Amino acid sequence: MAGLLAALATRIQAGFDTVAPGADPVLRPSGQAGADFQANGALPLAKRTGQAPAEIAAKVVAAADLEGVATAEVHPKGFINLTVEPAFLVAQLAAAAADPRLGVDVVDDPWTIVVDYSAPNVAKELHAGHVRTTIVGDALCRLAGFAGHHVIRENHIGDWGTPFGMLIEHLIDMGEEVGARELSVGDLDGFYRQARAAFDASDELKDRARRRVVLLQSGDPETLRLWRILVDESMRYFSEVYRRLGVLLTPEDVVGESFYNDMLPGVVNELESLGLLVDSEGARCVFPPGFTGRDGEPLPLIVQKSDGGYGYATTDLAAIRDRFGRLGADRALYVVGAPQRQHFSMCFAVGREAGWIPEGAEAVHVAIGNMLGPDGKIFRSRAGEAVKLIELVDEAVARASAAVLAKNPSLGDAESTAVAQAVGVGALKYADLSTDRAREYVFDWDRMLAFEGNTAPYLQYAVVRIRSIFRRGGIDPSSFGAGRVPVSVDEPAERALAQRLLAFGSAIASALETWSPHKLCTYLFELAGEFTSFFENCPVLRAPSQEVRDSRLELCAHTAAVLAQGLELLGIDAPERM
Ligand code: ARG
C-alpha cells in the first residue's frame, strides 16, 4: 500500500485494533461517487467473531483516528465509506511529488524472485510466439525490482538435446565460418531448415548425428567446441534483438537447458529415493496426484525415457530444485505460453512432493495467451511462416516513423529517428502489455499505433503535451512537480486527478499481485484520461490567478512524472517531443 491509502489505513487501523488487534482494514479506493475510499475489513471480522458487520464497522468508526477524514459512514452491510479532507489529500500529494519514488512504497518483505522468460531455442528463430513472453517477463522484472524485490532474470534457452547432433553435423558440413556467419546475422530458421532437410534426406547423416549426440553427452571437447559456436552465435543474434527491443536480458542471464545437464541423474536418483518413481513401459515416471488424461488414467511426468535419455520435464525439475535451493527463491515465475500449462502444473506438483519448493514459497506459471493474426489464427506471415520478432520491430519502427512525420514534420532527422524508435517499440510492447496476459490477443498494427485509445503513442503523447504546456508558457518545468508548490483541489477535476495520482502505488501493487502488467496500463490510461478532463475543465496557462496557475502546473508536472515512470516500468521510453 502506498501514499494516501497507506496513511489512511494507519488511521482506520486504530479503530480495527480496538475490535481485533491487527485486523486488516481492507481499504480500497471506492470507485463510487460520494466516497473516496471504502474499508471492508468488518466483513471478514464479522465471520470470525460472529458479530454483525455493521456493528463492528460502527465500533471501528467510533474508535478510529479520523483526522483528515471528512466523512465516515457505515453502510448497513458493514462497509465504511470514507471521504477525506482536501488538506489531507494535498499533503499526501506533496509528499508523493517530493519523493523520487513518487510515493510508491518499497515492499515490507522483499522476495527473491526468479523470472524465467523469453527462452528462445538455439539455432531457431525468435518468432512472434516469443514476443509476449519476452515483453511481459521484462515488464514484470522491472515492476518487481521497483517494488523492492530481489529479481533474478533467467533466460532458459533451449541449448541441449538430440537436435544438436544434427545441427553440429550440419555446421561441419557447411563449414564453421559460413555457418557461424549465417547464425550471427539472424538466419536461424534458414540454418535449421537446411539442417533438417539434409538430415531427412541422408541415412549417413542420421548416423553421424546420432553418434554426435553421444559425443556431446559424454563431453567430448571438440563436440563441445562446435556446440558452443551454435550457442554463442545464436545468442549474439538474440542479444541484438533484445537491444533493439530495449529488453533487459543479457548473455549473463542465460541459464539454458545445458546448465542442468549434470544435475539430471541426481534429480532422478532423488525422486527414486523418495519413492516417487514408477516404471511405465520402460520409462521412469512420476505420477503426481490429481492429473488424469481424457480416459481418466493417471498422467505420467516422464523423467527418464526408456533409452536412458532425459527430457524437457527432467530439466525443468532440475531448474525448480536449483531455483528454490541454490538461489533461495521465494517465487519462481515462468513466463511461458499458456499451452505449456499442464507441463508446469505437473512439474510444480512433483517439485512440491519432492520437497524442493519449500513451505511459503511458490512456483507460478505466468501463462501467456497466444498472439493471433487478424484472421483469428496463430499469428503468421502472409506466406504462412512464423514471423520473426526482429521483423516486427523493424516494421513497428517504420510505421511509427511515418506516423510521427505526419504529426510533427518539424522534428529534425536525428530526433525523428529516435522518436520513431520509441513510439514503434513502445506501441509493440504496450499492445502486448495492455491485454490481460492470459488472454489471446489479436495483433493489429493500426490499433497499436493509434494516437487515441489505450496505446503507447497516446500515453507518450500525453507526456509530450504536458511538457509542451511549460514550453508554451515559457515556464521552467524544474520548479514544479517536486511537491514545493501548494496545490488546491477545489475543482472536481483537480480532485479526481489528485486521487488518481495517489493511486500509483496501489496500481503497481495490484499488477504484481497477479503478475499482470495490464493493470498498470489500465491505471496509466485512466490517469491520462483524468488529466484530459482536468485540462479541458481547468485552464492552466490562463488560470484566474497566479496561485491557481501554479497549483495546476504542479499537477501537470506530477502527472507527467507518474506517466513517464509508469511507462519506464513497462520498458517504454517517453520522448520529449513528438
Ligand atoms: N524454450 C522453450 C520454448 O521455446 C521455453 C522454455 C520455457 N522455460 C522453461 N523453464 N521451460 O518453448
User: Based on C-alpha coordinates, what's the Rg of the chain?
Assistant: 28
Q: CB of 121 closer than 6 A to ligand 1? A: yes
Segment 509-530 shows an average pLDDT of 97
Nearest atom, ligand 1, residue 157 CA: 1
Is residue 449 in contact with ligand 1, taking CB distance under 6 Å?
Answer: no
Cβ-based neighbour number of residue 112 at 10 Å? 17
Q: How far is the CA of 130 from the centre of ligand 1 (A)?
A: 10
Rounded-to-integer distance, Cα 112 and Cα 336, Å: 19
pLDDT in tens, 561-574: 999 999 999 999 99
Using a 6 Å cutoff on CB, does residue 319 contact ligand 1?
yes
Which triple of cell numbers denotes residue 265? 541423474
* Cα-based distances in Å from 345 to 29, 116, 140, 301, 349: 35, 15, 21, 10, 6
3-state secondary structure 532-543: HHHHHHCCCCCC
Number of helices (H), then strands (E), belonging to the chain: the values are: 21, 13
Beta bridge partners of 83: 71
What contacts 351, CB < 8 A, 6 or more positions away? 317, 320, 321, 324, 357, 363
Q: Is 3 in the pocket of ligand 1 (CB under 6 A)?
A: no
DSSP characters over 261-313? GGGHHHHHHHHHHTT--EEETTEEEE--TT-B-TTSPBPPEEEE-TTS---HH
Higher pLDDT, 164 or 183: 164
pLDDT for res 68: 86
pLDDT for 365 equals 98
**Residue 325 parent element (H or E):** none
3-state SS track over 373-417: CCCCCECCCCCCCCCEHHHHHHHHHHHHHHHHHHHCCCCCHHHHH
Cα(70) to centroid(ligand 1), Å: 53
Fold assignment, 2-84:
Gyrase A; domain 2 (3.30.1360)
SS3 332: strand
260 lines ligand 1 (CB under 6 A): no
With a 6 Å cutoff on the Cβ, whether 333 touches ligand 1 is no
Between 9 and 480, name the one with better pLDDT.
Answer: 480
Query: 293 vs 552, which has greater pLDDT?
Result: 552
Per-residue pLDDT at 49: 86
Indicate if ligand 1 lies below 6 Å from the C-beta of 320.
no
With a cut of 80, say whether residue 148 has pLDDT above it: yes
Q: How far does the centroid of ligand 1 lie from the alpha carbon of residue 256, in Å?
A: 9
Q: Which atom of ligand 1 is nearest to the CA of 156?
A: 8
Which of 498, 420, 504 has its CA nearest to residue 93?
A: 498
Mutate to test the pocket of ligand 1, among 127, 156, 253 (most ligand atoms within 8 A of CB): 156
Q: Is 554 in the pocket of ligand 1 (CB under 6 A)?
A: no
Cα(472) to centroid(ligand 1), Å: 51
Question: What is the tens place of the pLDDT at every residue in 432-458?
Answer: 999 999 999 899 999 999 999 999 999
**221: burial class by Cβ within 10 Å (0-12, 13-18, 19+)?**
exposed
Pick 100 or 128 by higher pLDDT.
100
Nine-digit cell at 528?
491520462
Q: How far is CA 132 from CA 114, 186, 238, 371, 439, in A?
A: 18, 20, 15, 8, 11
Contact 78, 57 (CB under 8 A): yes
DSSP state of 106: P
What distance in angstroms lies between residue 326's CA and the mean position of ligand 1's atoms?
20
pLDDT mean over 512-540: 97
pLDDT reported for residue 1: 41
Write down the domain spans for the chain: 2-84, 163-252, 264-330+339-364
Name the amino acid, one letter, at 414.
Answer: A
Cα separation, 84 vs 189, whole angstroms? 60
**Ligand 1 atom at minimal distance to the Cα of residue 337:** 12
Instruction: Give residue 155 CA to ligand 1 midpoint distance, Å.
Output: 9
Beta bridge partners of 285: 278, 302
| The three cell numbers locating residue 481 | 512537480
H or E, element range at 498: helix 492-501
The arithmetic mean of pLDDT across residues 111-120, rounded, is 97
Supply the angle between the helices 312-324 and 264-273 in degrees, to the nearest 10. 80
Q: What residue has cell string 488424461?
A: 293
Nearest 5 degrees, angle CA 388-CA 183-CA 159?
85
Q: Rounded mean pLDDT of the chain?
A: 93
Q: What is the pLDDT of residues 203-251, one digit of tens each?
A: 999 999 999 999 998 999 999 999 999 999 999 999 999 999 999 999 9
Ligand 1 centre to CA of 266 (Å) is 22
Distance CA 168, CA 222 (A): 11
Rounded mean pLDDT, 381-410: 88
Instruction: Choose which residue among 340, 365, 366 to substitute to test ligand 1 binding: the one with the highest number of ligand atoms within 8 A of its C-beta.
Output: 340
The x, y and z cell numbers of residue 408, run together, are 510533427
Q: Is the pLDDT of residue 33 over 80?
A: no
- Other CB atoms within 10 Å distance of the CB of residue 249: 24
Over pLDDT 90: what percentage of the chain? 77
Distance from residue 156's CA to the centre of ligand 1 (Å): 6
CA distance 131 to 41: 41
* Protein residue with least CA distance to atom 5, ligand 1: 119
Between residues 131 and 112, which one has the greater pLDDT?
A: 112
122 CB under 6 A from ligand 1? no
Q: Whose CA is nearest to atom 9 of ligand 1?
A: 156
pLDDT (tens digit per residue) in 548-562: 999 999 999 999 999
Please state the φ and ψ torsions of residue 93, each to the nearest 5 degrees.
Answer: -65, -45
Q: Whose Cα sits closest to atom 4 in ligand 1?
A: 120
| Beta carbon of 208 within 6 Å of any ligand 1 atom | no
